[in-house]
């Protein structure tokens, strides 16, 4: 079973509460909130005040993806603003183990995000400190923009990571993010991913519910 997390980045940003309704009405599982600081990635998106304003309008858990230089410094503020799951990049400046522990202390699930050029093995030493239902977010595009082309070279990394989680019997999830549609989503699920982030595929279509159903279709 795959869960679908819908990225609002390519949604209608002038009507975010409506976008949140569309996501819940389409039967998606999570709302994916991409935070960019203009430093870790070149782009700037939205941050704390937008999240706290949007939160009361969201009927699914909020999956916050921090593409920022210092996630440890901001984790508590994002949880207060409404994050239900919080992922940060292993390539950021914060110590990853310390950041995971801080997210756990704040009482929510942690995710460690991995950019396409970072090997899957880089997260192996951290798998042991993750708690059941935490996740590794495998970027399937370069972080920074919505609407990019899926990178198939990430598929072997997903397989490697899933094999390692199975070998260690770790009840963790693998989330994929970037260029996910019906076809690329199925390829990622076959490789071992079980959380699919999709932005344009769900929100830039006439029928978001059909797009979510297509992503969840049994393999």
| CB closer to ligand DX5, 72 vs 202 | 202
**Which of the choices Zn ion, ligand DX5, none does residue 200 contact, using the CB cut-off of 5 to 8 A by kind?**
ligand DX5
25 is catalytic: no
Residue from 19, 22, 31, 34 in contact with Zn ion (CB under 5 A): 34
192 part of the interface to ligand DX5, by CB under 6 A: no
Residue of 25, 29, 34, 37 marked active site: 34
Q: Of all residues in this chain, which one has the CB nearest to Zn ion in the complex?
A: 65
Q: In the structure encoding, which two tokens stand for residue 173, read together?
A: 């999830």
Q: Are 216 and 4 in contact (CB under 8 A)?
A: yes
34 is catalytic: yes
Output the CA torsion 18→113→166→184 (10° steps). Answer: 60
Percent helix / strand / coil, the chain, rounded to 5: 40, 20, 40
Residues 50-79 that bind Zn ion (CB under 5 A): 65
Span near Zn ion by CB under 5 A; candidates 28-36, 83-91, 104-112, 128-136: 28-36
- How far apart are the C-alpha atoms of 207 and 174, rounded to whole Å? 26
Of 171, 174, 180, the closest CA to residue 194 belongs to 174
29 part of the interface to Zn ion, by CB under 5 A: no
Question: Which residues, at least 6 apart from 166, have a Cβ–Cβ distance to it below 8 Å?
Answer: none
| CB closer to Zn ion, 105 vs 196 | 196
For the chain, the distance separating the N- and C-terminal CA atoms, rounded to the nearest angstrom, is: 9
89 part of the interface to Zn ion, by CB under 5 A: no
Q: Where would I find the beta strands (DSSP E) of 45-191?
A: 62-67, 85-89, 109-114, 135-139, 173-177
180 part of the interface to ligand DX5, by CB under 6 A: yes
| CB closer to Zn ion, 62 vs 206 | 62
Span near ligand DX5 by CB under 6 A; candidates 77-85, 96-104, 126-134, 198-206: 198-206
User: Would you call 67 helix, strand, or coil by DSSP?
Assistant: strand
10 part of the interface to ligand DX5, by CB under 6 A: yes
Q: List residues with catalytic annotation.
A: 34, 177
Give the residues lining the site for Zn ion (CB under 5 A): 34, 65, 177
């Amino acid at each position: 079973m795959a869960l679908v997390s819908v990225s609002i980045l390519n949604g209608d940003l002038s009507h975010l509460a409506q976008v949140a309704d569309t996501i819940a009405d389409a039967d998606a599982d999570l709302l994916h909130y991409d935070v960019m600081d203009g430093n870790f990635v070149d782009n700037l998106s939205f941050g704390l005040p937008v999240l706290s304003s949007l939160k009361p309008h969201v009927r699914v858990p909020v999956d916050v993806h921090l593409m920022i230089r210092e996630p440890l410094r901001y984790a508590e503020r994002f949880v207060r603003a409404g994050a239900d799951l919080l992922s940060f990049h292993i390539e950021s400046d914060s110590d990853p183990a310390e950041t995971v522990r801080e997210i756990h202390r704040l009482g929510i699930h942690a995710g460690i995000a991995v950019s396409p050029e970072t090997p899957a093995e880089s997260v192996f030493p951290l798998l042991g400190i993750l708690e059941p239902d935490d996740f590794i977010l495998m970027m399937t595009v370069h972080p920074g923009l919505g609407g990019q082309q899926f990178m198939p070279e990430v598929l072997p990394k997903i397989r490697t990571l899933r094999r390692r989680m199975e070998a260690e019997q770790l009840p963790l999830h693998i989330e994929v993010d970037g260029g996910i549609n019906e076809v690329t989503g199925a390829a990622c699920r076959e490789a071992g991913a079980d959380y699919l982030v999709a932005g344009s595929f769900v929100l830039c279509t006439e029928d978001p519910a059909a797009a979510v159903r297509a992503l969840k279709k049994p393999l």
